[in-house]
């Protein structure tokens, strides 16, 4: 083989190996990014469920308090806003 053919073979082999290595690492980075997205979504769902549970608990407490206490809304001429 001539020197030029050896250099061409070596160059194309290095380019092919470099491409394969780059694609391999690109796939790893993409997979890691997708996994991070899944983890982030799971955390968001956990926070949403926690907030919903807090909301439901507050709603139940409000209902219990409304049964026990007499509540006036601001539209009725309640005792607090009267003439001093």
Percentage of the chain modeled with pLDDT above 90: 73
The pLDDT of residue 80: 55
Q: Which residue in this structure is represented by tokens 């009267």?
A: 82
Q: Which residue in this structure is represented by tokens 């919903």?
A: 52
pLDDT tens-digit series, residues 23-54: 999 999 999 999 999 999 999 999 999 999 99
For the entire predicted model, the pTM comes to 0.53
Residue 78 predicted with pLDDT over 60: no
Residue 84 predicted with pLDDT over 80: no
Task: Quote the CA–CA distance of 56 and 13 in Å, as a whole number.
Answer: 64
The pLDDT of residue 71: 66
């Amino acid at each position: 083989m001539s020197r030029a053919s050896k250099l061409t073979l070596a160059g194309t082999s290095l380019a092919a190996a470099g491409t394969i290595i780059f694609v391999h690492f690109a796939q790893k980075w993409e997979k890691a990014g997708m996994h991070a997205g899944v983890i982030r979504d799971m955390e968001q769902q956990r926070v949403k469920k926690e907030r919903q549970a807090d909301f439901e608990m507050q709603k139940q407490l409000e209902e219990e308090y409304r049964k026990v206490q007499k509540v006036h809304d601001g539209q009725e001429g309640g005792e607090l806003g009267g003439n001093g």
